[in-house]
Each structure stands twice: as structure tokens, then as C-alpha cells.
């Protein structure tokens, strides 16, 4: 019986049922090839003529308006970069300093940095902030885009560990800057901090930092050539006489390191735009500080806002939200299958973010009358 079922089709016996029996029983490998080819053709048909997805760093950004910015409205500051830039929001130091310094117009921050981002590649999840996706199970990302007034770009450290040449870095960095310029009125470039060896494991710091210094010089040159603002952390740290550790593992900043970076960025951002580029050199003095009670209350509200923002910017269960699992039952309402409940759940976070920013401003006004930072030398 089985032999009859698996008999290959002959020229006199080739109905569809017979062919299917032969494929399923005797040629599973051939069947798999057919399925793969059909899937590839389907994917190709959807992508032919489609535009190349935008660079990951610009996803979520709204092209800037030609109209001058309303000076009475709070500026929107966007942070881009790798892990160190991403972890700024875990401390909230920069936001706290700017909020307490200008409580009447507290800047709004959106941290779009992504761990492992480099000038060569900024990988994002499938369909992340993309429009015009293929029907029927590919709804576009409906989340609101961000109108940035200022973009802070902090890259160059991880690239120094890459095998590509300095010329390749210069080309990629310059191209990324040009892609970002249409999305903000102001672009601030930040040089990377030097590598360290706090664990004393014998890292060849001289070799690593020599290459890192080349990348920092490239960033300085690009800032000068394109008339962009620059915060030169690398130059300031390299000129210090004392060997002060700012990282917890040689690459990623400690809390003290983040405080130092926040101070230098705050100085630049508070100065406003310049007609000509002005290079700010980070002061080598190491601040030992303790936030006042009022400033700490501001920081805690900022941390709450940052947690809400991360839930909105990088929500969990992405595949079910706007990825490739939008069609499954758990992605849809149990009563009305046509309704997808994940997008509504994520969009409900937008209102608490706005409310958190209102509370940040109120706390900043209360803290502004008191001392913002109390020196605590140790």
C-alpha cells in the first residue's frame, strides 16, 4: 500500500494528487526547496521598487521645519550614539542640570541612542518607524515622530576597535552627519572618551587610545569643516595630568564619568547656537558633588520620564506590535479580531510622558530658588 502511495508519477499518471503524494512522501528535500523558492519570490515581489530603508539613526525623527524655532517653547534635544550615550538616561544628570538652570523652558529630551550603534551601522527591529508596509499583516508604525531642535551625536569609540581604516571612519562619520542635518537646526558633535584599564588586566591602552585619538581628530575636523558645534571630551581627558578613572570596565562610563560628561555637555547646550563653531574643552577638574534635595527630586522625576520613554521608544513584544507577528491571535483583541490592542497599549504611554514633563518643570521651578549643587569635597 505504501509502495503504491509513493510510486513516482509516470507520463500516463500525473494528476495533481499523485504529484503531491510523491513530493510529501518521497522528496521532502525537493518540497522544501519549492517552499523556499516561493517564499523568496514573494519577498522579492514586495521589495522590488521599494526604497532603501532609512538609516537607523534617523528613524523616529521628523524632518526639520524651515520656520524658525519658537523660542518660547521648550527645545527638543535628541541624543544619538552607542552604549555610553544610551546610558545617559539611566542617570539623568544632563537633563537635571539643564532643567534646574532654565525652569521656565525646561528642554525636552529624547534619548534615541542604541547599544552597539556605530557610524557604520545602526540596526533597528523590523518595520521600526517605517511607513507603507505590505498588506495584509504589516501595519505601519503609527508612533509619533520627534521634531528635534538639537541633535547630540556621540560616536567613535567602538569604531576604534574596528578593523576598518581611519579613512573609512571619516567617510562614514561624514555621511552620517549629512543624513542627520535635515532633521535638526543644530548638530553637536562629541568626541569619545579614552579607553581605560580599571581592572588592571593588561590592555594595551597606548595602542587603543592612539587610534581613538585619530578618530577624535577626524570628528574635530568634520565639526570645523561643516561649521558644527563640538564638545571635545577626548582632548580634555588626554591632557589631564592625573589618571582619573571614568569608566567601570575601560569602555563604559561609571556614574562619575556620566556626571563629568553631563557637565561638559550642559555648558555647550546652555550657550545656544553660534554663528561660527566654538570648540568647548572639558575642564580637567574633577567635581565631587552631591545634588541638593530639590535637584534630586527633579532628577527622580526625570528618571521616571526616561523609563516611560523607553517603554514607548523600544517597547517589548515588538514582533507582535509592528513586527512579523501582527497577524497572530495574541496580537489582536479577543472579542474583535480586527482590532489590534498592542498599538493602543503603547500609544497610551504618550500621555504619561507629557505629564511627567509637566511635573519635571514644576520641580525645577521649586529647586531653582535653592542651591542647585552643594560642593562636597572628599
Angle made by CA atoms 364, 369, 371, in degrees to the nearest 5: 95
pLDDT of residue 72: 74
Same-domain pairing of 275 and 171: yes
The answer as to whether 206 is a domain residue is yes
Same domain, 144 and 248: yes
Does residue 171 sit within a domain?
yes
Say how far apart CA 188 and CA 63 lie, in whole Å. Answer: 17
Mean pLDDT, range 213-219, rounded to an integer: 98
Q: Which of 257, 291, 325 is the last residue of a domain?
A: 291
Please check whether residues 113 and 242 belong to one and the same domain.
yes
Please give the average per-residue pLDDT across 261-288, as a whole number.
Answer: 63
Domain final residue, candidates 256, 291, 326? 291
Nearest partner of 283 among 254, 248, 244, judged by Cα? 244
The answer to the question of residue 184 being in a domain is yes
Instruction: Based on the fold, state whether residues 29 and 115 are members of the same structural domain.
Output: no
Which residues lie closer than 8 Å to 297 by C-beta, 6 or more apart? 363, 366, 367
- Domain membership of residue 329 (yes or no) is no
Residues 6+ positions from 274 with CB-CB distance below 8 Å: 229
Q: Is the preceding omega at residue 136 within 30 degrees of 0, hence cis? A: yes
- Shared domain check, 41 and 73: no
In 3D space, the residue among 181, 154, 374, 360 whose CA is nearest the CA of residue 264 turns out to be: 154
- Please check whether residue 301 lies inside any domain of the structure: no
Cα gap 304→308, rounded to integer Å: 6
Bridge partners (DSSP) of residue 78 are 110, 151
Q: Are 10 and 153 members of one domain?
A: no
Question: pLDDT tens, 300-346?
Answer: 999 999 999 999 999 999 999 998 888 888 888 888 888 888 999 99
Asked if the structure places residue 299 within a domain, the reply is: no
Are 21 and 93 contained in the same domain?
Answer: no
- The residue that leads in pLDDT, 280 or 359, is 359
Range of the domain at 34: 2-47
Which of 291, 321, 339 delimits the end of a domain? 291
144 shares a domain with 13 = no
Assess if residue 345 is contained within a domain: no
Residue 287, pLDDT above cutoff 50:
no
| Cα 233 to Cα 245, 261, 306, distances in angstroms | 14, 8, 24
The contacts of residue 32 (CB under 8 Å, 6+ apart) are none
Q: Is the pLDDT of residue 63 over 90?
A: yes
pLDDT at residue 77 tops 70: yes
Q: Confidence class of residue 1 from pLDDT cuts 50, 70 and 90? A: very low
Residue among 172, 169, 244 at smallest CA distance from 213: 169
Residue 190 lies in a domain: yes
Domain count for the chain, please give it: 2
pLDDT at 334: 82
Residue 347 — pLDDT band, cuts 50, 70, 90?
very high
Number of separate helices (H) and strands (E) present in the chain = 13, 8
Mean pLDDT of the 290-298 span:
85
Exposure letters 14-41 (e unless 16+ CB within 10 A, then b): eeeeeeebbeeeeeeeeeeeeeeeeeee
Same domain, 28 and 133: no
What is the CATH number for 174? 3.40.50.1110
Tell me, yes or no, whether 69 and 160 share the same domain.
yes
| DSSP assignment string, 26-73 | H-HHHHHHHHHHHHHHHHHHHHTTPPPPPPGGGTTBPPPPSSPP-TTS
Q: How far does the chain reach from its first CA to its final CA, in angstroms?
A: 89
Q: Indicate whether 26 and 150 sit together in one domain.
A: no
Q: What is the pLDDT of residues 82-134, one digit of tens each?
A: 999 999 999 999 999 999 999 999 999 999 999 999 999 999 998 999 876 66
Shared domain check, 188 and 125: yes
Amino acid at each position: 500500500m505504501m509502495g503504491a502511495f509513493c510510486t513516482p508519477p509516470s507520463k500516463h499518471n500525473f494528476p495533481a494528487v499523485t504529484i503531491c503524494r510523491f513530493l510529501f512522501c518521497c522528496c521532502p528535500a525537493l518540497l522544501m526547496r519549492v517552499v523556499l523558492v516561493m517564499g523568496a519570490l514573494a519577498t522579492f515581489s514586495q521589495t522590488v521598487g521599494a526604497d532603501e530603508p532609512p538609516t537607523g539613526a534617523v528613524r523616529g525623527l521628523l524632518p526639520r521645519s524651515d520656520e524658525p524655532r519658537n523660542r518660547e517653547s521648550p527645545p527638543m534635544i535628541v541624543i544619538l550614539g552607542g552604549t555610553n550615550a544610551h546610558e545617559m538616561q539611566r542617570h539623568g544628570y544632563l537633563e537635571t542640570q539643564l532643567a534646574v538652570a532654565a525652569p521656565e523652558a525646561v528642554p525636552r529630551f529624547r534619548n534615541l541612542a542604541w547599544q552597539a550603534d556605530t557610524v557604520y551601522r545602526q540596526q533597528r527591529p523590523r518595520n521600526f518607524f517605517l511607513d507603507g508596509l505590505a498588506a495584509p499583516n504589516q501595519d505601519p508604525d503609527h508612533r509619533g515622530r520627534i521634531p528635534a531642535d538639537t541633535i547630540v551625536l556621540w560616536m567613535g569609540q567602538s569604531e576604534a576597535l574596528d578593523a576598518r581604516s581611519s579613512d573609512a571612519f571619516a567617510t562614514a562619520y561624514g555621511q552620517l552627519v549629512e543624513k542627520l542635518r535635515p532633521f535638526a537646526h543644530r548638530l553637536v558633535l562629541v568626541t569619545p572618551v579614552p579607553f581605560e584599564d580599571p581592572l588592571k588586566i593588561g590592555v594595551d591602552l597606548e595602542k587603543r587610545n592612539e587610534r581613538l585619538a585619530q578618530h577624535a581628530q577626524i570628528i574635530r575636523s568634520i565639526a570645523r569643516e561643516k561649521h558644527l558645534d563640538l564638545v571635545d571630551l577626548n582632548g580634555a581627558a588626554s591632557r589631564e595630568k592625573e589618571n582619573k578613572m571614568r569608566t567601570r570596565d575601560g569602555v563604559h562610563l561609571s556614574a562619575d564619568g556620566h556626571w563629568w560628561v553631563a557637565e561638559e555637555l550642559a555648558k555647550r547646550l546652555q550657550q545656544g547656537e553660534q554663528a561660527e563653531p566654538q570648540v568647548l574643552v572639558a575642564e580637567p577638574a574633577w567635581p565631587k558633588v552631591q545634588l541638593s534635595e530639590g535637584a534630586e527630586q527633579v532628577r527622580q522625576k526625570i528618571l521616571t520620564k526616561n523609563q516611560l520613554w523607553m517603554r514607548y521608544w523600544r517597547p517589548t513584544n515588538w514582533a507582535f506590535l509592528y513586527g512579523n507577528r501582527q497577524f497572530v491571535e495574541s496580537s489582536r483583541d479577543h472579542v474583535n479580531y480586527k482590532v489590534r490592542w498592542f498599538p493602543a497599549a503603547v500609544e497610551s504611554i504618550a500621555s504619561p510622558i507629557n505629564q511627567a514633563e509637566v511635573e519635571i518643570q514644576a520641580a525645577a521651578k521649586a529647586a531653582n530658588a535653592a542651591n542647585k549643587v552643594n560642593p562636597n569635597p572628599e
